[in-house]
């Protein structure tokens, strides 16, 4: 864990693991966690009933699918997914992103999936 008040090297943190769809916590602010994640392929449709979440693309591109439309994100772009909105994430090739959400949020939300990752894993 990086001590508060110190720089956090996101590419270096991402280099410490290889798994896709397994967010790793790099910092906390109040009750919010900042997580880096590697995406590749399609994720499960799900919703987070009690919280919004933010995706900020660090490297490559990703898409956020909603039931009625899709949002494409390039490096440096972000989206806020409203609480309770069903969505999925996907990337054609490895994409790196920063997720900002409250502590304890499960990556698959309300979905029962083999892609559910261990929670609160720090790098």
**Three-state DSSP class for 113?**
coil
Neighbours of 6 (CB within 10 A): 8
Domain boundaries, the chain: 17-102
> What's the CA gap between 78 and 98, in Å, rounded?
9
Of 92, 90, 62, 66, whose CA–CA distance to 74 is shortest?
62
Domain 17-102 of CATH type 3.30.450.90: no
Question: How confident is the model over 17-55, as pLDDT tens digits?
Answer: 999 999 999 999 999 999 999 999 999 999 999 999 999
pLDDT of residue 1: 73
Query: Do 121 and 25 touch, CB atoms closer than 8 A?
Result: yes
Residue 9: exposure state from Cβ atoms within 10 A (0-12, 13-18, ≥19): exposed
Neighbours of 73 (CB within 10 A): 20
Task: Please compute the mean of the pLDDT values over residues 82-108 and round it to a whole number.
Answer: 96
Q: What is this structure's pTM?
A: 0.94
Of 15, 49, 23, 36, whose CA–CA distance to 115 is shortest?
23
pLDDT category of residue 57 using cuts at 50, 70 and 90? very high
């Amino acid at each position: 864990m990086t001590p508060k008040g110190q720089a956090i090297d996101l590419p270096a943190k991402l280099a410490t693991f290889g798994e896709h769809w397994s967010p790793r916590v790099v910092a906390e602010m109040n009750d919010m966690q900042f997580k880096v994640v590697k995406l590749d392929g399609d994720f499960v449709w799900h919703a987070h009933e009690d919280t919004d979440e933010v995706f900020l693309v660090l490297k490559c591109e990703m898409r956020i699918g909603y039931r009625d439309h899709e949002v494409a994100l390039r490096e440096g772009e972000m989206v806020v997914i409203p609480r309770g909105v069903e969505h999925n994430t996907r990337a054609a090739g490895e994409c790196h992103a920063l997720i900002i959400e409250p502590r304890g949020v499960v990556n698959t939300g309300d979905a029962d999936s083999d892609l559910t990752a261990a929670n609160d894993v720090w790098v």
